[in-house]
Amino acid sequence: MLSLTPIFLLALAGLPVEATSLSGGTVSGQLVELSATELKLQPENGAVTTIPTADLLELRGTSAAAPAAGETPLVRVRLVDGSVLQLAELKNTLKELQGKHPYLEGVLSVPMTAVHSLRFTPPNAKFDPLWEQLLEKGTKSDMIVLQKAEVLDHLDGVVGAIDEQTIKFLLDGDEIPVKREKAFGIIYARKPYNGKLTARVQFANGDSIAAKSVTSNGDEWKVTSLVGQTWTLAASDISLVDYSLGKVVYLSTMEPRNVKYTPFIQFDGQTEFYWKFRRDRSLEGKPLRLGQKTYSRGLAIHSKTELRYRLGGEYRRFQALLGIDDEITNTNWGATAVRIVGDRRELYAGECRPRQSPIPLDLDVSDVVELDIIVDFGPDKSDISDRIHLADARLVK
């Protein structure tokens, strides 16, 4: 059985990693050392590179591989600090939750005071939003959540011991057993734990741990978790150490203060038509691609569109890769003029054409209160195939 101490142990000897910094640069190599203040990498055929951890956005394990699916159903466990674990053979006492994790030998034990919720059912597009709404709502009593036709209902009371078949539940002073197969999930009456979060460690199967600190000597990693679990993990178990929390805001997560479209007049001379901008997808709803690479974050914008974002003077840099959607291959189409303006001061002006190399943007937005992104018709004065992507568009504090 694993003991509970404030230190997370991750055995990742010789781990090949890819580090991304706030400047937008990426360095790949073998992990040499990671401390609270700096990261040291050994690139292939190069000198050791040092990056201050204050400048790190993410450290990605390039050899991470998800475990093979087992026969035993996994219970999705969310902790009060936002960590998420998938456990099999789950049971609990009044003091601790126990289960087996795909990456660990033996039994993992978690204090019940650290457990926020348990979900017994697999992901489902219809019920996932309803479950998230219940999680965000909070509760003064424990809840057993039940699926009824097209909705999720719940009973309020006190959840007791859980084994593989039964959930003991105190309802209006009476103890009643609830079959686990009938329960969608359990939400405990817990307050969120708001400790100082340095990074979020993500595993190859999608699980994640909120970390107070992360260090490594190249052979093993030590991660101090917010609620105190200790794990020993193989190199291939870790996919990402995310340092971006609080440092970076992606534009696709922000709501524009103002959006203005100038429609293209179609051939009948009367019908107005325009494309609304999209977040994290192309205008056709496909993965956002630029320069033969796919990006999970960014904006897709058609001419003519003007987006205004309120920054409030809180950020230092605006960074992105700018270019025409990869699907546009005809170089006679898609000439687009792009301007980026901060408080009426032009920060960037340029033209995009299909099949050109993406244009890296790194703009000083210090003290900028309002940022305008203007995607205009190009020299041909039409909007045919004017589909720019701002990949990895982000604001850096």
Does one domain contain both 203 and 326? no
Q: What pLDDT score does 255 carry?
A: 93
From 245, 260, 294, the end of a domain falls on 245
* CB-count exposure of residue 325 (10 Å: 0-12, 13-18, 19+): buried
Does one domain contain both 231 and 289? no
Q: What pLDDT score does 78 carry?
A: 95
Does one domain contain both 12 and 127? yes
Q: What pLDDT score does 11 carry?
A: 40
Measured CA to CA, the distance from residue 107 to residue 34 in angstroms comes to 29
At a CB cut-off of 8 Å and minimum separation 6, what does 73 contact? Answer: 88, 120, 122
Does one domain contain both 153 and 112? yes
DSSP 307-331: EEEE-TT--SEEEEEEEE-TT---T
Q: What pLDDT score does 273 carry?
A: 62
Cα 262 to Cα 274, 283, 310, 387, distances in angstroms = 7, 16, 21, 14
Does one domain contain both 119 and 200? yes
How many helices (H) and strands (E) the chain has is answered by 1, 35
Does one domain contain both 187 and 293? no
Q: Classify 356 as helix, strand or coil.
A: coil
pTM of the model: 0.68
Which residues form the domain of 195? Answer: 1-245
Does one domain contain both 213 and 262? no
Q: pLDDT tens track of the chain, all 397 residues?
A: 333 333 444 444 467 888 988 876 788 898 889 898 999 999 888 889 999 998 888 898 877 666 666 566 789 999 999 999 999 998 887 799 999 988 777 888 889 999 999 999 998 888 998 999 999 887 889 999 999 888 999 999 999 998 888 999 998 888 888 999 999 999 999 988 878 888 998 888 888 989 888 888 777 777 778 887 777 777 677 788 999 887 889 999 999 999 998 876 654 455 556 788 999 988 888 888 888 888 888 999 998 899 999 999 999 999 999 998 877 766 566 678 999 999 999 999 998 888 788 999 999 999 999 999 999 887 765 566 678 899 999 998 8
Q: How many domains does the chain have?
A: 2
Q: What pLDDT score does 137 carry?
A: 84
Does one domain contain both 264 and 315? yes
Measured CA to CA, the distance from residue 268 to residue 216 in angstroms comes to 65
Q: What pLDDT score does 380 carry?
A: 63
Does one domain contain both 4 and 37? yes
Does one domain contain both 221 and 253? no
Does one domain contain both 253 and 228? no
User: Tell me, what CATH number does 312's domain have?
Assistant: 2.60.120.1060
* CB-count exposure of residue 140 (10 Å: 0-12, 13-18, 19+): exposed
Q: What pLDDT score does 187 carry?
A: 96
From 226, 245, 264, the end of a domain falls on 245
Does one domain contain both 156 and 45? yes
Measured CA to CA, the distance from residue 34 to residue 27 in angstroms comes to 14
From 194, 217, 245, the end of a domain falls on 245
Q: What pLDDT score does 251 carry?
A: 93
